[in-house]
Amino acid sequence: MSLLSVRDLTVTYDTQRGPVRAVDGLDLDVPAGSITGLVGESGCGKSTLGRALMGVLPDRGKIAAGEVIFEGQDLQTFSASARRALRWRRMAFIPQTAMNALDPVQRLSAQMAEILIERGGLSGREATARSSELFRLVGLDPARLAAYPHHFSGGMRQRASIALALALNPSLVIADEPVTALDVIVQRQVLDVLRELQARLQLSMILVTHDMAVVAYACDRVAVMYAGQIVEAGLAAEVLERPLHPYTMGLTHAFPDVHDSQMSLVPIEGSPPDLHTPPPGCRFAARCPFADARCNNEPPPSRPFGPDHLVACWHAEDATTLRGRAADPQTWAAIA
Amino acid sequence: MLKHALGRLGHLVLVLWAVTTLTFVMFRLMPGDPTLNFLSPSFSEETRAALLKSFGLDRPMWEQYLIYMANLLRGELGMSFLQGKSVVVLLGEALPNTVILTVVSLSCAYAFGVVAGAFLAFRRGGLVEALAIPSALATRAAPEFWLGMLLLTGFAFQAGWFPTGGALSPGKELGSFSTSLVSGDYWWHLALPALTLMLYLQGLPLLLMRATMLDVLNDEFIVMARMKGLSRWSIVIRHAARNALLPVVTAFALGLGASIGGNVVVETVFAWPGIGRLLVQAVQTADYPLAQGAFILIAAVLVLMNTVADLAYALLDPRVSFGAKR
C-alpha cells in the first residue's frame, strides 16, 4: 500500500480574477521507501502541491476538493490541531531557499532545539546530543551548530535544512527544489546526501524539481506535472527511457547534454494555459505537435500503460513513433 | 566588536568637538552683546568694559576659544549670567527631570507601539485597522503643544485631577532629586507631560513595528515555522517579533537621544523644570553660558545615543558584524 495517496486533489487560489485551480483533480501515489520526483515547469503547481500536502498553503490558497490519504488516514478529515501535530513528526519539508528558510537571527543550535524540544518533547540535553547526531548525519561538523545561517554556504544551509527535516524521524519528506539554487557540484553532493539518508532511514521522499537530470540522478519514480495535473507517472528509469506523453518527451529533450554538443536542444514552444480558463480538452494540446481534434475537446483520462506506468494522453499507443518525431526540433518548431 | 566600539567612540569624540566648536562660533555670531541684556543703559562705559573684561570677552576670539575648550575639558561650563549659579549645577538640576520624563514617556510609547503594531499586523483589513491607523497617525501628526493644551484643559483645569504645571506642588520643597523621585507628588505632576509626550511618540514605533512585522510574516522562515508545526506563540514571539523588533530598538535609542533635547515644547507647556525649558529661558534672556551649556549637553546626549543605537544593533542582529571573525 502507498504511504501517501492523493485522490482528485484540487487546490485553488483566490485572485482578483476569481479562483484559479493551481492543482486540479490530481492523483498521485507515493510508495513507502522511495524517492518520487515531481517534475514540471515553473507555475505548473508542483510547489503548491508540496505545500498542500504539508497543510501550509499561502493565505489565499485552499484545498477545494479531494483526499490526501497518508499512512492510511484521510488528512482532510483532521482538525487543524491534529494536522499540526502531524507536521514535522510524520512529514517534514525541505525548502528551496535555505537562506531565507532559516531564521537569520538564531543560531542553528537554537533552531534545532526548538523543533526537538517543542515538537519532539526532548530535554535540553537530549536535544543537544540529537542535534550533533543530525549534523553528523548530513555531513556537517557538530561544532558548527553554534553558527548563524549567514555563516553557512548555500550547500551547508541546505544540509542544515535536511538535518532539521529529519529531526523527528518523519516517514515522508517533501523536498521543494532542494538543489535548484546550488551549483552543480554542490547539487550532486546534496542529492547524494538525500539518497543515502533515504536508503539508510527508509524514508519516503517527494523531490520537487524542474530538472530532468535531477530526476535521472536521484529518483526511483517520477510524476510529470503539467498545468495542475499529473500527465505521466511511473518508475523513473522507465519514464525517462520510454516516455509516453509528448510533454515528457519534450522535457527530456529540453536540457543540454554536455557530452553531446551535436545533440540539439529542443525547446517546447508556447506557454502553459491560463488556469483561470483551462482548455476543455488536453491541457497540453495547444503546445503539442501531435494534437488532433479529440485532444482539443476531450480531456484524456489517466490510464495504465505497461506495468507501473500511467499516462494521460490519447496517443499513448503511438508513443514509439512519436518519440522518434519528438527528437526532431522541426516537429516542435511547427507549433510556434 | 571591541575594535568597532572603540572606532565608534573615536567618531563620537570628533563629532562632539565639532559640536562644541560650532556652538562657540554660533553664539559669537549672534547679534547683540550679552552685556546689553543685563546692564541697564545707565551704566557707564567703564563699568561695561570692566564687566566684559571680567568675563574675558575683551580677549581675541582665538584666545576665547582656547579658554572655552580648556574649560570644557575640565567640565567647566561657566557661570549663568542671570542666575548667578554655575551652568553645570543648573544643568545638573534640570537633567534628571528631563531624563525621567523622556524615559517614562518613551518606554510607555514603545511598549504600547510595539504591542499594538504587532497586533495590527495580524489584524489586517478590518474595522480595527481602519480606526487604529488613522488615530495613531493623527496623534503622531498633532502638534505636541496642542495635545498638551487639550490634556491640560480637560484633566487639569476642568476635571482638576492633575496639576497644571511644575514638578512639585507649591511650597513643597523636597531638597534632593532622589527624595522627589519617591514622592507621589512628583509622579502626579509627571503624568500629564508624560502622557502628552507618549501620545506624540507612539506613532513611530507602532507604524514601524506593524510594517516590519508584515514584512517578516511574509518571510520564508515564518512559513517554515508553520510547516514545523510550531505553536502560534512560538512563531509570533520567537521568530516574527524577534526579527521585526530590530529596527524598532534602533529607533528607541535614537528617540531617546532626540527626546532629551526635543522635549522643549512639552516642558514649556507644562512648566516642567527640565533641560528644554532651561534652554528656552536661557535663549530668551540671552544667557549665553547657560544656553551654550544646554546645547552642548543636548548634542552630546544625541550623539551618544546614536552610538548606542549603532552598537545595540550589532548585538541584536548577528548578521551585522564589524570585521569580527567567527
Higher pLDDT, A194 or B129: A194
- Residue count of chain A, please give it: 336
Mind telling me how many Å the CA of A56 is from chain B's nearest CA?
6
User: Which of A105, A115, A151 lies at the smallest CB-CB distance from B228?
Assistant: A115
**Model pLDDT, residue A51:** 92
The whole-angstrom separation of Cα A298 and Cα A269 is 22
The more confidently predicted of residues B36 and B110 is B110
Domain assignment present for A152: no
CATH code at A228?
Answer: 3.40.50.300
Task: Tell me the mean pLDDT in the region A248-266.
Answer: 70
Where do runs of H (alpha helix) occur along chain A?
A: 46-54, 80-86, 98-101, 108-113, 124-137, 154-165, 184-201, 212-218, 236-241, 246-253, 293-297, 319-326, 329-333
**Smallest CA–CA separation between B306 and chain A, in Å?**
22
A122 has a pLDDT exceeding 60: yes
Please write down the long-range contacts of B43-51, taking CB distance under 8 Å and 24 or more positions apart.
none
Q: What percent of chain A has pLDDT over 90?
A: 57
d(CA B208, CA B254): 14
User: Can you spell out the DSSP letters for A164-214?
Assistant: HHTTT--SEEEEESTTTTS-HHHHHHHHHHHHHHHHHHT-EEEEEES-HHH
Q: Lowest-confidence range among A213-217, A288-292, B1-5, B174-178?
A: B174-178
**Tens digits of residue pLDDT in A72-102:** 899 989 998 899 999 999 999 999 876 688 9
Q: Give the mean pLDDT of A228-247.
A: 93
What mean pLDDT comes out for the span B296-302? Answer: 87
Average pLDDT over residues B14-32: 82
Q: What cell does B99 get?
A: 531624563
Q: Which residue has the higher pLDDT, B55 or A246?
A: A246
Predicted confidence band at B31 (pLDDT cuts at 50, 70, 90)? low
| Residue of A47, A56, A84, A103 to mutate, testing the B interface (most B Cβ within 10 Å of its Cβ) | A103
pLDDT band, very low/low/confident/very high, at A146 (cuts 50, 70, 90): very high
On whether the CB atoms of residues B97 and B279 are closer than 8 A, the answer is no
Question: What is the structure's pLDDT at A161?
Answer: 93
Q: Tell me, yes or no, whether A107 lies in a domain.
A: no
pLDDT of residue A164: 93
- Judged against a pLDDT cut of 90, whether residue A265 lies above it is answered with no
Nearest CA in chain B to A146: B326
pLDDT in tens, B248-284: 988 888 888 887 776 888 888 888 888 888 888 888 8
Torsion, Cα of A229, A233, A237, A241 (10° steps)? -70
CATH class assigned to B87-316? mainly alpha
Q: What is the DSSP letter of A264?
A: P
Nearest CA-CA distance, residue B145 and chain A, Å: 41
pLDDT of amino acid B12: 86
pLDDT at A306 over 90: no
Task: Please tell me the total count of domains within chain A.
Answer: 1
Highest mean pLDDT among A266-280, B36-50, B100-114: B100-114
pLDDT, tens digit (0-9, with 9 covering 90-100), for A24-40: 999 999 999 899 999 98
Q: Which residue of B has its CA nearest to A56?
A: B227
Query: What one-letter code names the amino acid at B308?
Result: V
Residue B291's identity, in one-letter code, is A
CB neighbour burial string for B104-123, b if at least 16 within 10 angstroms, e if fewer: bbbebbbebbbebbbbbbee
- Place A53 in a pLDDT band, splitting at 50, 70 and 90: very high
C-alpha span between A138 and A114 (Å, rounded): 19
Is the Cα torsion angle A139, A141, A146, A148 positive or negative in sign?
Answer: negative
Chain A, nearest residue to B318 by Cα: A105
CA distance B16 to chain A (A): 33
The model's pTM is 0.79
B227 has a pLDDT exceeding 80: yes
If you ran DSSP here, which 8-state letter would residue B239 be given? I
| CA of residue A303 relative to chain centroid, distance | 22
Confidence band, pLDDT 50/70/90 cuts, at residue B171: low
Whole-number pLDDT of residue B325: 42
Of the candidates A183, A212, A178, which has an alpha carbon nearest to the alpha carbon of residue A194? A178
Q: What is the ipTM of this complex?
A: 0.85
The helix-helix angle for A124-137 and A154-165 (nearest 10°) equals 130
Top pLDDT among A39 and B316 is at A39
Instruction: Give residue A245's pLDDT.
Output: 94
- Asked if A100's CB is within 8 angstroms of B316's CB, the reply is no
Closest to B240 (Cα-Cα) out of B272, B217, B208, B270: B217
Integer-rounded Cα Rg, in Å, for chain B is 24
Q: What is the mean pLDDT of chain A?
A: 89
Task: Supply the pLDDT for residue B123.
Answer: 78
Tell me how far apart the alpha carbons of residues B240 and B245 are, in angstroms, rounded to a whole number.
9
User: Any CB–CB contact under 8 A between B318 and chain A?
Assistant: yes
The H-or-E segment that residue A73 falls in is strand A73-74
Residues of chain B numbered 193-252 and touching chain A (CB < 8 Å): 219-221, 223-231, 234, 238-239, 242-243, 246
Minimal Cα–Cα distance from A122 to chain B, Å?
15
pLDDT at A189 over 80: yes
Tell me what the pLDDT averaged over chain B comes to: 82
Task: List the beta bridge partners of residue A208.
Answer: A38, A176
Indicate whether B326 pLDDT > 50: no
A290 within some domain = yes
> Which residue does chain B place closest to A161, by CA atoms?
B224
Of B221, B230, B318, the CB nearest to A148: B318
A59 exposure class (CB count in 10 Å sphere: 0-12, 13-18, 19+): exposed
Query: In terms of Cα–Cα distance, which of B163, B316, B170 is closest to B251?
Result: B316
Instruction: Judge whether A315 and A247 are in contact, CB under 8 Å.
Output: no
The reply to whether residue A104 touches residue B221, judged by beta carbons under 8 angstroms, is yes
Is the pLDDT at B90 greater than 60? The verdict is yes
Q: What amino acid is encoded at A85 in this protein?
A: A
